Amino acid sequence: MTPTDFIIREIKPTDNTEISKVIKSVILEMGAPKTGTAYEDEATDIMFETYQKEKVAYFVVVHENKVIGGAGIAKLDNCEANICELQKMYFLPIARGKGAGTTLISKCLEKAKEFGFNSCYLETMPYMQAAKKLYIKNGFLNLKEPIGNTGHYACNVWMLKKI
């Protein structure tokens, strides 16, 4: 698979089941806990509906008519600053290392800028090494403590990028 083999588009209602399976399977594959992660979020099963508010967006990565990944942005909960959060960024193995992550981050940050956010926050886990490398490559810097309250207490790596 090359970058020309995948399509990045906004989520549709028919994508809910596939993106939920992607998110949950990656969490299990990485050995991450089900509690304190996106695995147990109610939103994970209704992603289209979750991202139908103002100043939010969710994109899916499609390869051969199958959803193989996705990521979104939304205002960071419980934060006064003008910061959005990069949310629920997960890829099946077929999509990894092919440029989809960088392309998707760029798409999300473009949208965040369009919405008027000035920084983007994310949370991940220490053993998600490839994800951490991708975020650093794309200009995210490590923080000493979390910002806002995402409810993902199992994620103890916090990063921020000015946009």
CATH number at residue 65: 3.40.630.30
Name residue 49's amino acid.
E
Alpha-carbon span 127 to 59, nearest angstrom = 25
Rounded average pLDDT per 10-residue block, the chain, 163 residues: 79 98 93 82 93 96 96 92 94 92 96 97 86 94 88 80 96
- The domain tally of the chain equals 1
Neighbours of 40 (CB within 10 A): 15
Domain limits at 49? 3-162
CA geometry: angle 105, 22, 108, nearest 5 deg = 15
pTM given for the model: 0.92
